[in-house]
Amino acid sequence: MDLGAINPLLLAASLMVAATAVMIAAVGELVVEKAGVLNLGVEGMMITGAICGFAAAATTGSPMIGFAAAAGGGALLALLFALLTQVALANQVASGLALTLFGLGMSSLIGQSYVGVKPPPTPDLDIPLLSDIPVLGPVLFSHDLMVYFGLALVAAVWAFLKYTRGGLILKAVGENHAAAHALGYKVVRIRVLAILFGGACAGLGGAYISLIRVPQWTEGMTGGAGWIALALVVFASWKPWRVLLGAYLFGGVTVLQLNLQAAGLAIPAEYLSMSPYLITILVLVIMSADRSAAPASLGRTFHASQ
Amino acid sequence: MLRLEKRPQPSRTLSYVTPVLAVLITMVAGGLLFALLGKDPVAAIRTIFWDPLFGEFAFYYRPQLLVKGGPLILIALGLSLGFKAGIWNIGAEGQYIMGAIAGAGVGLAFYPLEAWWLFPLMVIAGALGGWAWAMIPALLKVRFGTNEILVSLMLVYVAENFLASMAIGAMKNPEGFGFPGSRNLQQYPSAHNAEIIAGTGMHWGVAAAFIAAIMAYVLMNRHILGYQIRLTGDAPRAAKFSGVKPARLVLFCLGTAGALAGLAGFFEVAGPAGQITTGFNVGYGFTAIIVAFLGRLHPFGIVLAGLLMALTYIGGEAAQSTMQLPAAAIQVFQGMLLFFLLAVDLLTNFRVRLDKREAA
Amino acid sequence: MLIKKRTFLTGAATALGMTALASGAAFAQDDKTKVGFIYVGPINDGGWSQHHHESALKMIEEIGADKVEMVYQENVPEGPDSERAMTQMALNGADIIFSTSFGYMDPTLNVATKFPDVKFEHATGYKTAPNMSAYSARFYEGRAVQGTIAGSMTKSNTIGYIASVPIPEVVRGINSSYIHAKKVNPDVEFKIIWLYTWMDPAKEADAARTLIEQGADVILQHTDSTAPLAAAQAAGDVIGFGQAGDMAEYAPSPRVSSIIDNWAPYYTARVQAVMDGTWETHSVWEGINTGMVGIGEISDVVPEDVKAAALEMKDAISAGEYHPFTGPLNKQDGTPWLAEGEVADDGTLAGMSFYVEGLEGDIPQ
């Protein structure tokens, strides 16, 4: 065993990459849940974003167009969920699961002709000056654009929820939809918008996997990242900065277990590959002490005539 | 302007009609999808829904419907109890795996002993394995308020890894030349979950599914616990006032769901599958969630829904093999079925009214 | 007439079980030979299943679409579902069915017993029957060539290995590449990551990055996606090899060569044998010699002398002059395994569950 082979700085750089997809998806889901809606379809929206982004990027040769298409694809699938839960008032858990099932199937149908295709490369930013800082530069300032977009998104959502009127209304709708309705806010409209935003974020997260992290298209390639994103929201007690923390922790455990294996640690590999999930459970348990945090109307159906 | 008006009571008639309606709409939408893929939609729908039941080889497919539907029904029945009470176990796949490992483990431990009591012992072990795995999210929910959706789901991944380690490690067939996978229980008479009547597809797991359906019906309609489950789901606050203990309900619903999923896993591994292998689980635990909703969370509805879902699988396979329809198309088809089912629910709970006044 | 006969037989089959119908299938033939394929993954997975499917298509091209017709089913789980898929093909008049994954072994045997007139071919297993053959490829021969190139090319003397599932097939590959990398470079060390999956691009990418960060400048993979090659390309100055397919889109670098699964010659021969009535059951394990294991073109990134050495080894293996597992070799714990000049027997290789001396770490059990 040779733990000296693990370079902590490189580990830090890797976990930033490994955390980005789940982080973007989780921040989107956080906004959805803040509005009082539970969408379990994150995995389905991610994989849809992964293929839409891949197809658009491969066709146009532009990763940026790819990411835009991914956001659109994720939002489109989320629109289905919005119609089911906000208009037809269907059960949110079942609708979310339907979304995942449908998204997984649909994405592999769309993806049939994109297997074996190489997407256009997304360049690393290498932020001038900053990336030249010794040690920290390569770790913090020479990733692709989406890594920084993820960080900016967390900051933006935090600021939106904390300092803007729109954020206050969104939280009000999530805390008590009947009261918000009585005050004259359009509960359904606000929730639909939140759901679409969540779908777009999930789509971006998926495209990060298919365009940058892997980069190729294969069936079911998100491999459960959507479920991890859902867990992160609970882990974070619905607080944006904690989503960042949670994503880095999960990304860190994932990267660390691979590093430990390569360094020859004598823990059987199957237990190492379980570890991210077990640690997620452990953290969920610790965090569930903070019960005040969940939006009070989360997952409850709203109908104006109630 | 269309307006929705909530019915004072969900319409009973419609709650029976809507699933049928959803299936019909899915057939039309699915047909369109198949046409887009360049296949003959009528032939595809016929291959999926008609041929397995009344086609040339129906004598083979009808028993297979039971083989495929049995585990789905068994798992969905357990899940429906929790869903009715608002307890969301979506980790049945993991409980199914652990039941299979526990049950098969007992059988393999006694190999090659032949004894009448071995099979019943394995049944109990299978149920306990699933029950224990479901108790983890249940206890965490009761004790710490941890979200059971996520915990039960994370445990699926853990169970899958554990299954892989069993298949290539502790349970590996010592006479299998180092290849992964356990001994085949089909070749171990005392442990084999054989067909009760040869050629019918009726193995003990299918029998268990039908027995469980009857028991679930009795529980939900003739027992105070069933009343408490329904009340908790419909009006949680009223349930609290009437003395329902939510913690006990969580333990009961999750435990029962886990035990039934574990049983399903055990009957599968000792019967149709035969072996603990790395790819033993094929998603029954997730498909059963659809079955539960498709069956309106009603025990007899679930039996029908499980058979219907089995039909889409078996017919879907036939369509893949004879018409070269992609496997993904069948998955989309099943997703659509759930979508339409949820959408037509609207008619059960609401009246659609034409509203003359301009909505504000 | 035909239909009458089959309806009669169907009636009989319900009474007598399936065997009667199996002979009924023979009546259902038109003049085309019907060939069935069962795949464990999607036909466009870019790896294992795709190459079986492409080989099947090549077989049809070779024999002629007027003489053979193919049915296939993709994404078939290795359990009762595969048994049903094969039964369905047999009922629909298939003459020969190829089940292309190890996990189909027992189900194939079950179906073969029910349909004695249909021929079955099972990939990478060890069970056979009068109407069921086993076939597999000696991929470890390709790994020997790969190890030779890898050991010569590494500058850091660290080679990363992305392993899938700890089964003998994968262990053989690790041992074979290690032995031959060590032969040309005594200082070489292997770092191995087990992923417990045959294909998961995101995990493969992470694993490749991890190995590169820990100093590996050659990545060998026994998983099916191109993700490790993409990671090698992004890192720069790291080489890798195509797996299952040529992965030529990453040539000339990072992909410097590849191991290609080429089942087409075997499929053509076996289907032809059914047509000629000469099909006999057998258990074969073919390698470079028959072309079942293909070595993709070695790119110009590889120095001339290394390329020559690799090709020389390939030819020697192909001609039967050299066996990749030739003694002296010890097991990892130092116990002797093969004496000087002694060659491993197929039985030991088939069930290989130990590392050779020099490799570090344990095989997950």
Q: What is the CATH number of the domain that holds A231?
A: 1.10.3470
| Residue B14 clears pLDDT 80, i.e. is over it | no
Q: Convert the pLDDT of each residue in B36-50 to its tens digit.
A: 988 999 999 999 999
| Residue B119 clears pLDDT 90, i.e. is over it | yes
**Residue C84 touches partner B, C-beta closer than 8 Å:** yes
Chain C environment of A19 (Cβ under 8 Å): none
Domain annotation covers residue A17: yes
Chain A environment of C196 (Cβ under 8 Å): 269-270, 273
User: Greater confidence, A133 or C344?
Assistant: C344
Q: Which helix (H) or strand (E) holds B329?
A: helix B327-349
User: Greater confidence, C31 or B153?
Assistant: B153
pLDDT value of position C13: 40
Q: Which residues contact A19 (CB under 8 A, 6 or more apart)?
A: A150, A247, A248, A250, A251, A252
User: Greater confidence, C277 or C29?
Assistant: C277
| Residue B359 clears pLDDT 80, i.e. is over it | no
Residue A43's domain comprises 3-288
pLDDT value of position B176: 83
Name subunits touching B (3+ CB pairs < 8 A): A, C
Q: What is the pLDDT along chain A (306 residues), one digit of tens a residue?
A: 566 667 778 888 888 888 999 999 999 999 999 999 999 999 999 999 999 999 999 999 999 999 999 999 999 999 999 999 998 888 888 899 889 989 999 998 999 888 878 888 887 766 666 667 766 666 677 678 899 999 999 999 999 999 999 999 999 999 888 888 888 888 999 999 999 999 999 999 999 999 998 888 888 888 888 988 998 888 888 899 999 998 998 888 888 888 888 888 767 777 877 888 888 888 888 877 666 567 877 877 776 654
pLDDT value of position B199: 77
Asked which of A125-129, C243-247, C263-267 is least confident by mean pLDDT, the reply is A125-129
Domain annotation covers residue A193: yes
A-B C-beta contacts closer than 8 Å: 142
Q: Which CATH code is given to the segment(s) B40-324?
A: 1.10.3470
Give the orientation angle of helix A92-111 with respect to helix A63-82, to 10 degrees.
140
Yes or no: say if A81 and A199 are a contact pair by the CB < 8 Å rule: yes
**Residue C278 touches partner B, C-beta closer than 8 Å:** no
Using CA coordinates, name the residue in chain A closest to B160. A274
How many angstroms separate the CA of residue C140 from the nearest CA in chain A? Answer: 22
Is B336's CB within 8 Å of A40's CB? no
pLDDT value of position B356: 57
Is A264's CB within 8 Å of C211's CB? no
Is A281's CB within 8 Å of B155's CB? yes
| Residue C14 clears pLDDT 50, i.e. is over it | no
Whether C33-137 shares its CATH topology with C139-260+293-351 is answered yes
Rounded mean pLDDT of B118-127?
95
Is A11's CB within 8 Å of C365's CB? no
Q: Sorting pLDDT into bands at 50, 70 and 90, what band is C18?
A: very low
Query: What are the structural domain ranges in chain C?
Result: 33-137, 139-260+293-351
Query: What are the structural domain ranges in chain B?
Result: 40-324
Q: Which one of B90, B157, B349 has the shortest CB-CB distance to A89? A: B349
pLDDT value of position C180: 96
Q: Which one of A102, A224, A277 has the shortest CB-CB distance to B332? A: A102
| Residue C33 clears pLDDT 50, i.e. is over it | yes
Using CA coordinates, name the residue in chain A closest to B4. A305
Domain annotation covers residue A302: no
Using CA coordinates, name the residue in chain C closest to B162. C196
| Residue B357 clears pLDDT 60, i.e. is over it | no
Chain B environment of A104 (Cβ under 8 Å): 331, 335
User: Greater confidence, B236 or C18?
Assistant: B236
Q: Convert the pLDDT of each residue in B137-169 to its tens digit.
A: 999 999 888 888 889 988 998 999 899 889 988
**Residue A275 touches partner C, C-beta closer than 8 Å:** no
How many angstroms separate the CA of residue C233 from the nearest CA in chain B? Answer: 31
The whole-angstrom separation of Cα C177 and Cα C291 is 19
Q: Is A238 left (phi over 0), alpha (psi -120 to 50) or beta?
A: left
| Residue C2 clears pLDDT 90, i.e. is over it | no
| Residue B254 clears pLDDT 70, i.e. is over it | yes
Chain B from 218 to 277: CB within 8 A of any A CB: none
pLDDT value of position C132: 97
The whole-angstrom separation of Cα C293 and Cα A272 is 33
How many angstroms separate the CA of residue A145 from the nearest CA in chain B? Answer: 31
Is A6's CB within 8 Å of C214's CB? yes
Chain C from 52 to 81: CB within 8 A of any B CB: 71-81
Mean pLDDT of chain C: 88
**Both tokens of residue C49?**
């299943």
Asked which of B23-27, B198-202, B315-319 is least confident by mean pLDDT, the reply is B198-202
How many angstroms separate the CA of residue A161 from the nearest CA in chain B? Answer: 24
pLDDT value of position A249: 87
Asked which of B61-70, B112-121, B175-184, C104-113 is least confident by mean pLDDT, the reply is B175-184
The whole-angstrom separation of Cα B333 and Cα A232 is 31
Name subunits touching C (3+ CB pairs < 8 A): A, B
Q: Which residues contact A211 (CB under 8 A, 6 or more apart)?
A: A53, A54, A57, A63, A66, A67, A119, A122
pLDDT value of position B125: 97
* CATH class (in words) of the domain with range C33-137: alpha beta
Q: Which one of C72, C73, C84 has the shortest CB-CB distance to B64? A: C84
How many angstroms separate the CA of residue C186 from the nearest CA in chain A? Answer: 19
Domain annotation covers residue A107: yes
SS3 letters for chain A?
CCHHHCCHHHHHHHHHHHHHHHHHHHHHHHHHHHCCCCCCCHHHHHHHHHHHHHHHHHHHCCHHHHHHHHHHHHHHHHHHHHHHHHHCCCCHHHHHHHHHHHHHHHHHHHHHHHCCCCCCCCCECCCCCHHHCCCHHHHHCCCEHHHHHHHHHHHHHHHHHHHCHHHHHHHHHHHCHHHHHHCCCCHHHHHHHHHHHHHHHHHHHHHHHHHHHCCCCCCCCCCCHHHHHHHHHHHCCCCHHHHHHHHHHHHHHHHHHHHHHHCCCCCCHHHHHHHHHHHHHHHHHHHCCCHHHCCCCCCCCCCCCC
Mutate to test the interface with A, among B135, B339, B344 (most CBs of A within 10 A): B339
Q: Residue B198: count other Cβ atoms within 10 Å of its Cβ.
A: 10
Using CA coordinates, name the residue in chain C closest to B200. C14
Distances (CA, A) of C216 to B344, C120, C239: 57, 43, 9
How many angstroms separate the CA of residue A174 from the nearest CA in chain C? Answer: 35
Q: Which residues contact A133 (CB under 8 A, 6 or more apart)?
A: A141
Using CA coordinates, name the residue in chain B closest to C170. B179
- DSSP symbols for B244-300: --HHHHHHHHHHHHHHHHHHHHHHHHHTTS-S--TT---SHHHHHHHHHHHTTT-HH
Q: Sorting pLDDT into bands at 50, 70 and 90, what band is C189?
A: very high
How many angstroms separate the CA of residue A57 from the nearest CA in chain B? Answer: 23
Q: Convert the pLDDT of each residue in B276-306 to its tens digit.
A: 998 899 889 988 988 998 888 899 999 999 9
Among residues A159, A185, A157, A158, the alpha carbon closest in space to that of A172 is found at A185
Asked which of B237-241, C169-173, C246-250, C359-363 is least confident by mean pLDDT, the reply is B237-241
Is C194's CB within 8 Å of A261's CB? yes
C139-260+293-351 folds as Rossmann fold (3.40.50)
Is B168's CB within 8 Å of C168's CB? no
Is C87's CB within 8 Å of B317's CB? no
pLDDT value of position A166: 92
pLDDT value of position C5: 35
How many angstroms separate the CA of residue A14 from the nearest CA in chain B? Answer: 23
Is B275's CB within 8 Å of C106's CB? yes
| Residue C12 clears pLDDT 60, i.e. is over it | no
User: Greater confidence, C12 or B265?
Assistant: B265
pLDDT value of position A208: 95
Q: Which one of A87, A234, A268 has the shortest CB-CB distance to B165? A: A268
Yes or no: say if B259 and B131 are a contact pair by the CB < 8 Å rule: yes
- b/e map C334-352, b = 16+ CB within 10 Å: eeebbeeeeebeeebbbbb
